[in-house]
Each structure stands twice: as C-alpha cells, then as structure tokens.
Structure 1
Amino acid sequence: MKKNIAIIMGGFSSEFEISLKSGQVVYETLDQAKYSPHRVHIFKNKWVYVDPNNQEHAIDKNDFSATVDGIKITFDCVFNAIHGTPGEDGFMQGYLELLSIPQTSCNMYQAALTFNKRDCLSTLKPYGIKTAESFYVNLGDAIDEDAIIAKVGLPCFVKANKAGSSFGISKVYKREDFNKALEVAFKEDDEVIIESFLDGVEVSVGVITYKGEVTVLPITEIVSNNDFFDYQAKYLGESQEITPARLTEEQEEQVRTVAKRVYEVLKMKGFSRSEFIFKDGEPHLLEVNTVPGMTKASILPQQAASAGISLADLFGNAIDECLKN
C-alpha cells in the first residue's frame, strides 16, 4: 500500500517563496507508484492541505491531519521542504516528534543548533573544525567598532545569526558602513555574527544518509559574479556553480573529511549542505544547512545528479530512511 507523504513548504521567514518552489519540485517528482504525495502549506496565519485542484483545507494541528469531503487524511511521513523557521530551526521537528510522525530532516536539537550559526560554530570548534574569526552582537548592544575591527579586520561580513539564503548579510569595507549592515541584519534576526573575510576558493559540500550510509556528494565550487555569494548569485543566475569543484586531490579529501566529520559529530540525519572557504590551504566552515534547496537548479540536487542519483531517488531515499528509523 502506498505511503501518504505530506510535503511541508512555506514557512515564516523571508525564504518562504524559495521553500514553495522546493516543495513543489518534490511533489511533482516523487515516485507515485510508491508514494502518495500531498502538499501542505505552513504559514503563520494558516496551515492548509492543498488538494490536486489547488483547493485549501485546514490542517487539524491536534494530529496533523486534513479532512476533505468528509474523509480524514493522515500522513505516514513528512517531507520537510521548509527553509528557515519553523522547518529548519527545530520547531516542526519537535511538533512532529510529539505526534510520532517521521520526517525527513534532522532531529529537533540538531536543527536548532545548526540554524544558530554562532552556537553551531562554537560547538564544532573543539573538534578541530576551522572557522573564520567572529564577533557577536545582539540587538540593543552598544556597538564598539574598534573592538570589532581589532577582532575580525576589514573587510568583514555582517550576518543575521539565524537566517538563510543570504538574507540579512552584508560585506563591510569601511567603519562607516557598519550601522547600515547591522540594520539589514537586524531586520532578519535579533542576533548578529560578524566574521572576518576569508579570501579563497568557496565550496559547498552535500552530505546525506543514502541507503543507510553517510555519503559525501560531489563537491560544488561557488564562483559568484557579485562581491559574494548573495541572494542574486544564489537564485538569479549571477554565479557559476561548478560540480565537481576544481580542487586538488588533497583539497578534495580535506573538505570531504571535514564535511563528513561535521555531519557525524552533530549526529545528523537526512540532508545537509555545508559551506567552506579554503584559507591557507585548509577548509574553514561557514555554516551548515539542514533543509537545502530542492529545485532542479539547487546545489544539492546538482551534486546528487553528478553522483548518478536522480531527484526521484534522492527524495525517495530520504523518505525510506526516515520510515526505516
């Protein structure tokens, strides 16, 4: 009997439109001989099941079900395609765990930890994972620009601590640009991380659990046409994403080893995509994404294709792994 799969998409953050695209691709791609896919839109003001005729039906949050024409629909598994809150920061994971509904992304704690850049990098440093120099600022703090510059130097990056898709990020070259950069970051989050500029090759490394094994996918090199890998570079074609990356064998082995170690140290499951920049010949971790983009043009699906894994196989494997566990 086919499994009912709820594909959750949308969310509460600036990434909701990207999430809707990812979720729609999953919906259209899942093998309907094995699964019965269902779209569920999650927004602050409504949770709705969207039927094949695009009609909306309220989700009963007591058991995460929908009733259509008098028939109650329940779900065997949830495919999580929500980028940002509440799908990438642990809230949906915790809710679904309480209901004993399996879901394809990492568990609640891992989601909350990796979504918080400051906490994630701090957790990994004792394991020898190299990162940029950083300085933390919270909304309402007095801004000591001298102390910031002394710690991270110029240029540097000012980032919203809990945001994705390069929302709330600015590259700062001059002291007088700090206030504007902080305004941009604080629109997305009340915590900010300021990091030193790492001048080197940037790569993205997908790690998944595939057929029971932790698997590092072919590496993607990021070459932005802009000043850094911003929203336009990520989603509007203003970058080159080269898979496999143009790395030496030594560089490739280094970053594969570190990315796998990050996945295992954090006790991850499901999808992850980690971003690194090589500095002084060694990969430095920028961040870990646990609900990466799932459109055909997204980086992790490109990496899977390079490894000979189709989208249908990639998505189906994620469902099979979470049902198995």
Structure 2
Amino acid sequence: MKNVAIIMGGYSSEYKISLTSGSVVYENLNKEKYNVYPVHIFKEKWVCVKNNIEFPIDKNDFSTSINDKKIAFDVVFNAIHGTPGEDGLMQAYLELLNIPQTSCDYYQAALTFNKRDLLSVLKPYGIKTATSHYLNLGDEINVDEILKTVGLPCFVKPNKSGSSFGISKVKTREEFMPAIEVAYKEDNEIIIESFLDGTEVSVGVINFNGETRVLPITEIVSENDFFDYEAKYLGKSQEITPARISEELKLKIEQVAKKAYEVLKMKGFSRSEFIIVNDEPHMLEMNTVPGLTNGSILPQQAIEAGIPLPILFENAIEQALQR
C-alpha cells in the first residue's frame, strides 16, 4: 500500500479553509487502498497528525517517525491554498526530493499565483482580460491617471492572494486610496482592474485518466457586491451548476479554459474564473489548488459530471504516481 501525505494549512490567511479541504480529502480516500497521513504545514511547525498526536516532519527528506517507525511518503496530495502550496514552494521542494505530488509543477504554480504574470502570458493566445494597472509597494500613485486607464467602478486586488482576501470594489475616487491600503496588507504587489459587467462563471479543468477534462461550468450569483470571502464561504452567493448559458457560449468557455490549461502545461486540478461580457469570456484568475470542501465549487462540478469525490481524489493520486 502506498503512503499518502495530505498536506494542508499553509502560511496565508487561507489556512483554515485549507485544513477543511484536507480533511475532506482524508475522509474520501480509500483507506483500504492507501495509508493516509494528514500533514499540517505551518510556519512554526510541520507535523503529521495521527489520533490527535503530532509527529514532527523531518524536512531533510519529508518523512516522519511514528512509534519509532520511520514513514516515507510515496506521494503527496496538495490541499494547501495560498503559500507555500499554491505558489510553487512546496512543489519545488518535493521535486528536489523526488516525491510526486498532485498539483501542477512549481513554475506553473508560481506563474498562476501571480495574477499579473498569468494574464500577460495568456494574452498572446487570444484570451481576453480586464483592462488593468499594476503597482508595487513604494510606487508613486497617480490616482487620476490610473482611474483614467481602468475607469470606475474598478477592483483593487492583491496580486498574489486567494479567497478574495484584500479585494475591494471601488466606486468613487475617495474609496481608491483606502482600498490600496487594504490590498497592501495582503501583498506588496497590487493589480487594479476595470469592472467587467457580466455573468461570472467558474470553470474547473482537471487531468482525468490522462486527459484534459473541462467540468460542468458554475454560474456565480453573489448577494454581495462581488464574489468576496462572505459570498465564497458564508453562503452569501448562489452557485448554479451547470450555468444558465447557451450551448454555444458553454462550448466557447470550455475551449478557452482548456486552452489556458494546456498552454500552461497544467497538471492536476485547476479552477478559472471568467466574466462573460458580450458573449466573450474574460479571464480573471486561475487557482491551482482550488477549495475541496464539500461546499467548494470544483467538488460540486465533479459530482455534476458524475465523478464522486473518492474517484476524483484517487485519480489525482494515481496521475501523480504515473508522472
């Protein structure tokens, strides 16, 4: 039997959601097929948690010792949202140790985690995006010039953060600088984007049995101003799968999402967000370790596609082992 470590937690504001995602993976993996070990990754400690007892992880070879028996892991299931699981750090570390893991490679993780760089790489392939302006901490801020480029309302976002932490919708010039301060609390780079008025959809793309597969599309209807943290996790939104869109538009979105996945040489799970304006999908971002809680979008899409969660998670492990 293969030893599977499910890594969860992380160093960002998303650690609680990640712990839930990891627990859902743990509950759904077939214990008769795999020896499954939850591993909590925090700045202050890396520990394997068995029966509420913590066993330290040896970072030299990513192993642990339980009751004086050394356990090496054959494969790692990555359920860390944000750093260090979604930005390439864990991927690079595990690659150096030659341990397969379920998410994309380190370069793809680092690239997609940086919204600015992701969108600039995809643009030449005809993938549409919002009009944007970028700031690094310390840059001079010419408010009028920026607003002339992006218009009002606009979104101010941390460039590298997830779960809508630090994002503001800015409707007036007065709200602009406070929104910049909020975003800088999460990241030292900011992306300011024009408001796209259209239907928001979320598209899961996975590698299933060795083939790129686009899952049923989810339409997001937020009760709040946009799909923020409350809308994502506290029930302040409706997520409608499959989305209420025409067959023609569905095919167009699937094509764009699949193209992005393949152009980037992605592996494992991905979930991209688009806004549809005049029947044209505009990409906002791509998540490479999307939420895997029971309420999360990608699991909902998989179930709609007839893929139960135990099969979804087992496929991720088997694909990683084959790589």
Q: Same fold (TM over 0.5)?
A: yes
Give the one of 63, 66, 79 matched to 1:65.
63
User: Residues 105-153 of structure 1, C-alpha deviation per residue, up to 9 Å, x if partnerless?
Assistant: 0000000000000000000000100000000011111111111111100
Aligned residue for 2:305? 307
Q: Provide the C-alpha distance between the structure 2 equivalents of 1:151 and 1:267, rounded to a whole number of angstroms.
A: 32
Q: Aligned ranges for residues 38-49 of structure 1 at < 5 Å?
A: 38-49=37-48
Q: Aligned ranges for residues 31-110 of structure 1 at < 5 Å?
A: 31-51=30-50, 53-110=51-108
Distance apart, 1:35 and its partner CA:
1.1
Q: Provide the C-alpha distance between the structure 2 equivalents of 1:180 and 1:316, rounded to a whole number of angstroms.
A: 45
Q: Aligned ranges for residues 228-307 of structure 1 at < 5 Å?
A: 228-307=226-305
Q: Provide the C-alpha distance between the structure 2 equivalents of 1:77 and 1:147, rounded to a whole number of angstroms.
A: 50
Q: Aligned ranges for residues 178-197 of structure 1 at < 5 Å?
A: 178-197=176-195
> Which AA in structure 2 matches 1:278?
I
Secondary structure at the aligned position of 1:288 is classed as strand
Distance apart, 1:29 and its partner CA:
0.8
TM-score (norm 2): 0.99
User: Identical aligned pairs, as a percentage?
Assistant: 70
Q: Provide the C-alpha distance between the structure 1 equivalents of 2:111 and 2:319, rounded to a whole number of angstroms.
A: 22
> Which AA in structure 1 matches 2:117?
D
Q: Which runs of 5+ in 1 are unaligned?
A: none
Q: Provide the C-alpha distance between the structure 2 equivalents of 1:104 and 1:299, rounded to a whole number of angstroms.
A: 18
Q: Provide the C-alpha distance between the structure 1 equivalents of 2:17 and 2:238, rounded to a whole number of angstroms.
A: 19
Aligned residue for 1:5? 4
Distance apart, 1:45 and its partner CA:
0.6
> Which AA in structure 2 matches 1:78?
V
Distance apart, 1:258 and its partner CA:
0.1
Q: Provide the C-alpha distance between the structure 2 equivalents of 1:315 and 1:150, rounded to a whole number of angstroms.
A: 46
> Which AA in structure 1 matches 2:52?
N
Aligned residue for 2:205? 207
User: Residues 222-245 of structure 1, C-alpha deviation per residue, up to 9 Å, x if partnerless?
Assistant: 000000000000000000000000
> Which AA in structure 1 matches 2:80?
I
Distance apart, 1:179 and its partner CA:
1.2
Aligned residue for 2:218? 220
Is 1:321 aligned to 2:319, yes or no? yes
TM-score (norm 1): 0.99
> Which AA in structure 1 matches 2:227?
F
Q: Provide the C-alpha distance between the structure 2 equivalents of 1:236 and 1:312, rounded to a whole number of angstroms.
A: 25
Aligned residue for 1:168? 166
Secondary structure at the aligned position of 1:203 is classed as strand
Distance apart, 1:36 and its partner CA:
1.2
Q: Provide the C-alpha distance between the structure 2 equivalents of 1:33 and 1:72, rounded to a whole number of angstroms.
A: 21
Aligned residue for 1:141? 139
> Which AA in structure 2 matches 1:241?
E
Distance apart, 1:91 and its partner CA:
0.1
Q: Provide the C-alpha distance between the structure 2 equivalents of 1:302 and 1:216, rounded to a whole number of angstroms.
A: 13
Q: Provide the C-alpha distance between the structure 1 equivalents of 2:208 and 2:279, rounded to a whole number of angstroms.
A: 30
Q: Provide the C-alpha distance between the structure 2 equivalents of 1:166 and 1:37, rounded to a whole number of angstroms.
A: 31
Distance apart, 1:56 and its partner CA:
0.4
Aligned residue for 1:26? 25
> Which AA in structure 2 matches 1:139?
L
User: Residues 278-312 of structure 1, C-alpha deviation per residue, up to 9 Å, x if partnerless?
Assistant: 01210000000000000111000000000000000
> Which AA in structure 2 matches 1:279?
V
User: Residues 6-48 of structure 1, C-alpha deviation per residue, up to 9 Å, x if partnerless?
Assistant: 0000000000000000001111110112111100000001000
Q: Provide the C-alpha distance between the structure 1 equivalents of 2:257 and 2:33, rounded to a whole number of angstroms.
A: 32
Q: Provide the C-alpha distance between the structure 2 equivalents of 1:324 and 1:113, rounded to a whole number of angstroms.
A: 24
Distance apart, 1:250 and its partner CA:
1.2
Distance apart, 1:176 and its partner CA:
1.0
> Which AA in structure 2 matches 1:28?
E
Q: Provide the C-alpha distance between the structure 2 equivalents of 1:138 and 1:131, rounded to a whole number of angstroms.
A: 20
Secondary structure at the aligned position of 1:257 is classed as helix
> Which AA in structure 1 matches 2:294?
K
Secondary structure at the aligned position of 1:95 is classed as helix
Distance apart, 1:323 and its partner CA:
0.3
